[in-house]
């Protein structure tokens, strides 16, 4: 039996990102980002949120957990990913690759580096994904839920995390988790996201029995 093959878009290697990530974030940033891309391609037909333990990401890239956590924070600051980084490395990271990706060179320069055959293909992560009206409505509801029950603090990284939550989890479950946060007096979005991930993980384990 042949080993399962996990692919990632070849154009990324010609985009300038490998050198740029290792220089602007730290050495090892490209292997971590590439592994995240591979995970997304493995589980999602189109770019979408996915989960994996930080410890597993460290193991797959040969880096220490602390280095991977710093790289993830750097990738988030540079807006290449949206992510929730858990407190414990054995808990699931929730992540989504940015689309379109911010590139060190312009889109035209990157396309000029690619062969004609590659240019004819659909280039994952290169073009903007247009949200449906339903997705926009879900995001507005999650943002309102956060502002009304958790905190009035808002910045681009919080908005990215709220968008992740809106895409990844059922709306009714999000409402209940926000309500539980208000009931127990929690004012942390990290708590809400962690509870949603844990609930999802418990549900998957139950389904697999």
pLDDT tens across 125-138, in order? 988 777 677 888 89
Note the pLDDT of residue 122.
75
What Å distances lie between residue 94 and 57, 85, 164, CA to CA? 12, 7, 8
Question: Domain 10-120 maps to which CATH number in 1.10.10.10, 3.40.50.300, 3.40.50.1450, 1.10.620.20?
Answer: 1.10.10.10
What are the backbone dihedrals phi and psi of residue 128, each rounded to the nearest 5 degrees, phi first? -60, 135
Is the distance from CB of 18 to CB of 30 less than 8 angstroms? yes
**Widest pairwise Cα distance in the chain:** 58
* Bridge partners (DSSP) listed for residue 84: 94
Note the pLDDT of residue 1.
35
Mean pLDDT of the region 76-87: 94
Dist. CA 143–CA 124, nearest whole Å: 27
Other Cβ atoms within 10 Å of 185 Cβ, number: 6
Note the pLDDT of residue 120.
60
Q: What sign has the CA pseudo-torsion 155, 68, 18, 60? A: negative
Domain segments of the chain as ranges? 10-120, 133-207
Please state whether the peptide bond connecting residue 100 to the residue before it is cis, i.e. omega within 30 degrees of 0: yes
Dist. CA 141–CA 173, nearest whole Å: 12
Q: According to the per-residue pLDDT averaged within each range, which of 67-71, 107-111, 118-122 is highest?
A: 67-71
150-172 pLDDT tens trace? 999 999 889 999 999 999 999 99
Q: Sheet holding 92-97: strands in order across?
A: 50-53, 92-97, 81-84
Asked whether residue 108 carries a pLDDT value surpassing 90, the answer given is no
Go through the chain and tell me how many residues it has: 209
Strands (DSSP E) contained in 40-165 are 50-53, 81-84, 92-97
Q: Which of 149, 49, 185, 33 is nearest to 102 (CA)?
A: 33
Place of tokens 């193991």: 59
| Mean of per-residue pLDDT scores for the chain | 88
Look at strands 50-53 and 81-84 and give their pairing.
unpaired
């Amino acid at each position: 039996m042949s080993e399962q093959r996990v692919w990632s878009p070849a154009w990324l290697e010609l985009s300038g990102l490998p050198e740029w990530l290792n220089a602007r974030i730290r050495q090892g940033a490209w292997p971590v980002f590439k592994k995240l891309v591979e995970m997304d391609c493995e589980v999602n037909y189109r770019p979408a949120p996915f989960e994996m333990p930080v410890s597993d990401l460290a193991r797959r890239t040969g880096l220490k957990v602390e280095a991977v956590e710093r790289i993830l924070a750097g990738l988030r600051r540079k807006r290449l990913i949206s992510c929730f980084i858990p407190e414990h490395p054995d808990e699931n990271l929730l992540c989504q690759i940015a689309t379109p990706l911010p590139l060190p060179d312009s889109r035209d320069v990157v396309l000029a580096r690619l062969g004609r055959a590659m240019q004819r293909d659909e280039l994952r992560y290169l073009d903007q994904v247009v949200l449906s009206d339903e997705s926009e409505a879900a995001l507005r509801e999650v943002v309102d839920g956060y502002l009304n029950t958790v905190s009035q603090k808002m910045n681009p990284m919080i908005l990215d995390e709220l968008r992740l939550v809106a895409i990844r989890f059922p709306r009714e479950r999000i409402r209940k988790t926000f309500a539980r946060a208000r009931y127990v007096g929690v004012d942390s979005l990290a708590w809400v996201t962690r509870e949603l991930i844990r609930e999802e993980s418990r549900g998957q384990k139950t389904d697999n029995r």
